[in-house]
């Protein structure tokens, strides 16, 4: 193994992690979805490992993961890790960065070198999967604008209305068929892999090793099978040593969740909220802001082993709104939510795909408007904190944190000009508005006017149908 002492590209996940997509396909991690390969773990015949019928342990020494490990140890950028590379280059805190901090007690670069053989494989007994990212199908109660049918079954009807009954997932083309009830279901894809005896037999053997489980959907709190898994962990191990983590839209939190959570050492909830009021309702349709805010208030106060943060996806629709979101967070004065010096404001990440919703697709003049709004807000925030009698040290700390956060998005936004994508954005937005009874013009009028002016077209453009992918 190379004598390199440290690597800027190293991440602990390929040594300790097992990640499953919504359709059961296994991958390097969820961030790898941005890369051309999507980080899918391939068998020798070129097919993808799938939790529905394959050996989870065997997948951990797949050719893809072996190469990722060797690249990281040599300081090379692994192909599946494109998203973290892009975010690191803009000084946006990437997953690679915070996973190194999260797992420093368990594994570091030197230990990873010792655990890795010359071909990139590892001894699975020496380095068991202690961290699982499980996408339990696509059952969801929302159909967010940056999402799609692979992640939410609520999207099926809009998918058919916009582009027809076929879409692509990692295993190929998926076809939707109409049921007798007038709804749609998949004809040739299995998003119910969580019912597979193959998966449950294997997870039963691994349960005692699990120290961290990240549960995603769909909307995970609606998926009953995930509670079955948590109960299995409680039976098989000391749950007080296990962390359960969610990405949840926090529109609803069932009683069963509150009862089970008290058994675990830590419950971490990334609340997928992209703004306040009508902006979040527009993006995360058909959510209702009062319900979300009430659940956030309870999560902030409820006794228990909770760590909660606001996980915002920064995109075309909410770019200008970000300072208002930050200010709302300050004024809420949460006791628990993002109340730490490590991530004191929001946990944000830029939307990478689809490209026509990426910040880089904004019209040049609108980018200037966003940049000015961010600059103006820093002064507004400082003046607000002074009126609230913040001590100078805290003013400097918070202003610095917000400035760094906003500067990262300005850098990312201005890296490239993807404004040719705006025709796709316009068609997509106007058609979704029509289907859902929403209005970009009423919700984010500045964006509507800027894009309309840039394109030199009005709503009749929606009647032409450009190719989106």
- Cα 309 from Cα 373, distance rounded (Å): 24
Provide the domain limits for residue 112: 13-129
For position 79, what pLDDT does the model report? 96
pTM listed for this prediction: 0.90
With respect to residue 84, please indicate whether it lies within any of the assigned structural domains: yes
The per-residue pLDDT for range 414-463, each reduced to its tens digit, is 999 999 999 999 999 999 999 999 999 999 999 999 999 999 975 444 44
Residues of the chain with pLDDT under 50: 1-2, 459-469
| pLDDT at residue 3, rounded to an integer | 63
Contacts of 105 (CB under 8 A, 6+ apart): none
- Closest to 271 (Cα-Cα) out of 224, 332, 227, 352: 332
In a domain, 117, yes or no: yes
With respect to residue 78, please indicate whether it lies within any of the assigned structural domains: yes
Per-residue DSSP letters for 414-444? Answer: HS---GGGHHHHHHHHHHHHHHHT--HHHHS
- Kindly report the CA angle at 246 between 202 and 61, in degrees rounded to 5? 40
For residue 302, is it within any domain? Answer: no
Note the pLDDT of residue 234: 93
Q: Please report whether residue 319 resides in a domain.
A: no
The answer to whether position 55 is within a domain reads yes
Cβ contact 84:92 at 8 Å: no
Q: Which helix (H) or strand (E) holds 86?
A: helix 82-89
pLDDT of amino acid 462? 46
pLDDT in the model for residue 344: 76
Residues 401, 318, 100, 203: is their CA dihedral positive or negative?
positive
Q: Is 73 inside a domain boundary?
A: yes
Judge whether 146 lies within some domain: no
What total of structural domains would you count in the chain? 1
């Amino acid at each position: 193994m190379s004598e390199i002492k440290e690597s800027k590209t190293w991440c602990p996940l390929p040594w300790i992690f097992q990640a499953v997509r919504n359709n059961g396909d296994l991958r390097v991690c969820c961030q790898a979805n941005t890369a051309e390969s999507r980080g899918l773990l391939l068998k020798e015949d070129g097919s993808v490992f799938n939790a529905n019928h394959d050996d989870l342990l065997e997948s951990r020494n797949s050719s893809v993961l072996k190469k990722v490990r060797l690249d990281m140890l040599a300081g090379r950028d692994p192909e599946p890790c494109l998203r973290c590379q892009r975010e690191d280059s803009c000084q946006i805190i990437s997953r690679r960065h915070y996973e190194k901090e999260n797992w420093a007690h368990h594994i570091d670069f030197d230990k990873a070198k010792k655990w890795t053989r010359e071909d990139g494989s590892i001894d699975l007994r020496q380095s068991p999967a202690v961290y699982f990212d499980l996408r339990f199908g696509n059952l969801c109660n929302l159909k967010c604008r940056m999402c799609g049918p692979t992640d939410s079954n609520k999207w099926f009807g809009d998918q058919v209305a916009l582009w027809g009954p076929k879409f692509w997932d990692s295993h190929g083309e998926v076809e939707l068929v109409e049921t007798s009830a007038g709804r749609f279901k998949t004809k040739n894809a299995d998003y119910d892999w969580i019912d597979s005896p193959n998966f449950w037999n294997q997870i039963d053997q691994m349960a005692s090793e699990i120290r961290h489980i990240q549960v995603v959907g769909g909307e995970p709190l609606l998926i009953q099978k995930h509670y079955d898994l948590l109960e299995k962990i409680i039976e098989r191990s000391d749950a007080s040593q296990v962390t359960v983590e969610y990405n949840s839209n926090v529109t609803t939190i069932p009683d069963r969740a509150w009862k089970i959570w008290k058994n675990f050492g830590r419950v971490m909830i990334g609340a997928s909220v992209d703004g306040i009021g009508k902006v979040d309702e527009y993006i995360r349709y058909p959510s209702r802001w009062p319900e979300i805010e009430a659940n956030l208030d309870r999560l902030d106060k409820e006794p228990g082993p909770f760590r909660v943060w606001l996980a915002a996806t920064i995109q075309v629709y909410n770019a200008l709104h970000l300072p208002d979101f930050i200010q709302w967070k300050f004024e809420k004065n949460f006791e628990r939510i993002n109340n730490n010096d490590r991530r004191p404001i929001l946990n944000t990440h830029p939307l990478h795909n689809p490209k026509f919703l990426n910040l880089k697709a904004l019209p040049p003049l609108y980018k200037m408007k966003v940049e000015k709004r961010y600059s103006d807000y820093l002064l507004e925030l400082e003046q607000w904190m002074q009126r609230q009698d913040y001590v100078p040290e805290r003013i400097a700390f918070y202003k610095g944190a917000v400035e760094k956060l906003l500067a990262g998005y300005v850098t990312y936004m201005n890296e490239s000009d993807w404004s040719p994508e705006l025709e796709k954005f316009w068609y997509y937005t106007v058609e979704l508005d029509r289907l859902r009874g929403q209005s970009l013009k009423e919700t984010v009028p500045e964006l509507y006017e800027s894009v309309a002016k840039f394109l030199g077209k009005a709503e009749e453009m929606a009647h032409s149908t450009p190719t989106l992918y």
